[in-house]
Amino acid sequence: MTRETPSGVAVLLTAATRSMVLTSETERRLDALGNVRWADGSPDAWDLPELLDGVVACLTGWGTPRLGDDILTKCPDLALVAHSAGSIRNLLPQEAVGTRVTVCQAAALIADSVAEFVIAQILAWLRELHLLDAGLREGAGWSDLRHRHPGRLLGAQTVGVVGASRTGRAVIRLLKAFGSAVLVSDPLLDADEASTLGVTQADLDTLLARSDIVTLHVPLLPSTRNLLGARELGGLRDGALLVNSARGGLIDPAALQAELRTGRIRAALDVFPAEPLEVDSEWREMPHTIRSPHSAGHTLDSHRRQGAAMVSEIERFLRKEPLHYAVAAGQVDNLA
């Protein structure tokens, strides 16, 4: 008996993720593809081999169970994984990406959201909005508050961007619009690209020493874990602002806490060594810090763009058209 040509699509999204990344319009587009299986209920109860049997493409996102070697072996027809979130590091075996299965990810759509958040963090510190707000709540004098917190212009600052990743480049574009001088440390950035971006290349130590603001945009890899330790943090200028919206593991936590307690530097932290923070975590009360709960990449608009983009990738794949967000096998080691 001849086996039918596989053509199905599986939507492996939790109810929460589905409500974030899919609109009624994108759901209609999926249904229009025909032979679509929608995972339902708790992911713990999903029978992945059954959901993916005969399926050529699947849509995944936050909360999707790992598609391990056993799943890929049992589902040989699966040719495309369209991931509506960012990192694919824990989604499936990295050696399978671009070889056993084509993988697309929405990380590029998240970059704008993170970049805007980073600029918001920087501006909040430069204008000391949290201190102005607290002062008014406490009844401080109008003129006294303006005298104590006069603020600084972003365009007058030198900003060091560690990592010319997609997000790093999105941040650079916004910084250039403000007129900031931008230093970049990234061994993969060549001189021509730096010139196109309008930035100055620098090694990490030089960047830390010359920057008023430092923002991190590198993936967490064995080579970048604790990239900033006590020595590197000690090389920051007095009064420098350190922004981390990438991964908490990029900075030695004990060294950062020690610096922050002295008040010599300030920090805007969206990520932490362990997440979510425990109720009694020291990070919740860390002085000279603005903190947020890993929120940089999350906006209603970016979520919907991510879902729509990955549905478009599935449509292109089924029409045998070039994909826009496919991850090449050689890129995997450098991805977050």
**Quick check: 104 and 326 in contact, CB under 8 A?**
yes
Give pLDDT tens digits for 258-283.
999 999 999 999 999 999 999 999 99
End-to-end CA, the chain = 45
**Quick check: 211 and 240 in contact, CB under 8 A?**
yes
Q: Give 153-291's CATH code, choosing from 3.40.50.720, 3.90.1150.10, 3.40.50.2020, 3.10.200.10.
A: 3.40.50.720
**Quick check: 149 and 131 in contact, CB under 8 A?**
yes
* Residue carrying structure tokens 């963090």: 121
In this predicted structure, the answer to whether residue 88 has a pLDDT above a threshold of 50 is yes
Q: 241 has which bridge partners?
A: 213, 266
In this predicted structure, the answer to whether residue 6 has a pLDDT above a threshold of 60 is no
In this predicted structure, the answer to whether residue 335 has a pLDDT above a threshold of 80 is no
**Quick check: 224 and 204 in contact, CB under 8 A?**
no
pLDDT of the residue at 2: 37
Task: Read off the pTM.
Answer: 0.90
So where are the chain's domains? 8-109+300-334, 153-291
In this predicted structure, the answer to whether residue 4 has a pLDDT above a threshold of 50 is no
In this predicted structure, the answer to whether residue 5 has a pLDDT above a threshold of 70 is no
Query: Please, which residues have CB within 8 angstroms of residue 191's CB and are 6 or more apart in sequence?
Result: 201
Give pLDDT tens digits for 103-142.
999 999 999 999 999 999 999 999 999 999 999 999 999 9
Helices 24-31 + 300-318 axis angle, to 10: 10
* Average pLDDT, rounded, for the chain: 95
Average pLDDT over residues 26-32: 96
Query: Please, which residues have CB within 8 angstroms of residue 243's CB and are 6 or more apart in sequence?
Result: 118, 121, 122, 213, 214, 215, 216, 267, 268, 269
CATH class for the domain made up of 8-109+300-334 = alpha beta
CATH fold match for the domains 8-109+300-334 and 153-291: yes
Please provide residue 165's backbone torsions phi and psi, each rounded to the nearest 5 degrees: -75, -175
In this predicted structure, the answer to whether residue 12 has a pLDDT above a threshold of 60 is yes
Residue 128, sorted as left (phi over 0), alpha (psi -120 to 50) or beta, turns out to be: left
In this predicted structure, the answer to whether residue 284 has a pLDDT above a threshold of 90 is yes
What percentage of the chain carries pLDDT values higher than 70? 97
Could you tell me the CA-to-CA distances from 5 to 9, 108, 236, 312 in Å, in that order? 13, 32, 60, 22
Give residue 3's pLDDT band: very low, low, confident or very high (50, 70, 90). Answer: very low
pLDDT of the residue at 92: 95
Q: Active-site residues: which are they?
A: 247, 275, 294
Give residue 331's pLDDT band: very low, low, confident or very high (50, 70, 90). Answer: confident
Average pLDDT over residues 204-225: 97
CA atoms within 13 A on the CB side of 239: 6
- Per DSSP, helices labelled H in 86-128 are 107-127
Average pLDDT over residues 216-244: 97
In this predicted structure, the answer to whether residue 77 has a pLDDT above a threshold of 60 is yes
pLDDT of the residue at 336: 64
Average pLDDT over residues 87-113: 94
Q: 184 has which bridge partners?
A: 161, 201
* Residue carrying structure tokens 């010319």: 164
